[in-house]
């Protein structure tokens, strides 16, 4: 199935490779992020990482602006940048060279290396793959309005996840346009492009372009 961790992610680009490699599907990782961070954090090299409060580990090469708020458990990996007024609510892994920008909020997430969420983004109960990028104002919606369990629409079938909170699984090198909403249970394959102002739901295959509800999905040439 195209929605597996192996299909979506190159785990050589994350400090969470062990956790992701232990599961077939990415949403199976979400309930275990918190405990994994605590376990991993206590093994990190003190020459590269410093502990900044309860269960918060920040790489010495990372840049965290004074007005950013970070709650644990959290790991900020090497050369990442957490900018002014970023709000990290806990259970977050921010990979190497990531940018977490102004007024961006993270909660129960894994950002692979080189991910950019630089302007007014909300990323909750989600995994963003290597070099993926959310344009300004793009968000993951992680709870359905009726509060029922989230399913994934895959080729006309509903895949049960057993989760009430599930935002989006974004494959490596995928671009999400400004002010787009990734609805609960969205899975985007590698190297996809989502047009600005899109409302996305279900599964988008690898190397496809989502042009909106009216124009549909086309394969990249």
Predicted pLDDT of residue 212: 81
Task: Specify the pLDDT at position 218.
Answer: 78
DSSP state letter for 192: -
- Active-site residues, by number, are 119
Q: What is the pLDDT of residue 214?
A: 72
Who's near 116: CB < 8 A, 6+ residues apart?
98, 99, 101, 132, 133, 134
Phi/psi region, residue 176 (left: phi>0; alpha: psi -120 to 50; beta: rest), is beta
From first to last of the 221 residues of the chain, give the pLDDT tens digit: 699 999 999 999 999 999 999 999 999 999 999 999 999 999 999 999 999 989 999 999 999 999 999 999 999 999 999 999 999 999 999 999 999 999 999 999 999 999 999 999 999 999 999 999 999 999 999 999 999 999 999 988 999 999 999 999 999 999 999 999 999 999 999 999 999 999 999 999 999 999 987 777 778 75
Cα separation of 64 and 87, whole Å?
A: 11
Quick one: pLDDT at residue 221?
52
Helix (H, G, I), strand (E, B) or coil at 164: coil
- Residue 57: per-residue pLDDT: 98
User: Is 201 within 8 Å of 186 (Cβ atoms)?
Assistant: yes
pLDDT for position 1: 67
Range of the domain at 174: 5-219
Domain tally, the chain: 1
pLDDT of residue 220: 76
ω into residue 73 within 30 of 0, thus cis?
yes
CATH of the domain at 179: 2.160.10.10
CB-side exposure of 30: number of CA atoms within 13 Å?
A: 24
**Residue-level pLDDT at 181:** 98
φ, ψ of residue 143 in degrees (nearest 5): -135, 130
Query: What pLDDT, on a 0 to 100 scale, did the predictor assign at position 142?
Result: 97
For the beta carbon of residue 206, count every other beta carbon within 10 angstroms.
18
């Amino acid at each position: 199935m195209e929605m597996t961790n192996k299909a979506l992610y190159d785990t050589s680009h994350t400090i969470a490779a062990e956790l992701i490699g232990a599961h077939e599907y990415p949403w199976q990782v979400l309930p275990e992020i918190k405990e994994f961070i605590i376990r991993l954090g206590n093994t990190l090299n003190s020459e590269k990482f410093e502990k900044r409060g309860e269960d918060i580990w920040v790489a010495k090469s990372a840049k965290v602006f004074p007005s950013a708020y970070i709650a644990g458990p959290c790991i900020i990996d090497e050369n990442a940048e957490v900018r002014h007024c970023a709000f990290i609510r806990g259970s977050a892994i921010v990979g190497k060279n990531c940018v977490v920008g102004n007024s961006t909020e993270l909660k129960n997430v894994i950002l692979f290396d080189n991910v950019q969420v630089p302007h007014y983004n909300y990323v909750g109960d989600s995994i963003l793959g290597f070099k993926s990028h959310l344009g300004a104002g793009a968000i993951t919606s992680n709870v359905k309005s009726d509060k029922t369990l989230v399913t994934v629409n895959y080729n006309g079938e509903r895949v049960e996840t057993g989760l009430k909170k599930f935002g989006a699984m974004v494959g490596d090198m995928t671009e999400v346009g400004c002010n787009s909403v990734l609805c609960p249970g969205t899975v985007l394959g590698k190297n996809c492009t989502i047009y600005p102002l899109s409302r996305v739901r279900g599964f988008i295959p690898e190397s496809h372009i989502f042009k909106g509800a009216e124009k549909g999905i086309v394969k990249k040439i």
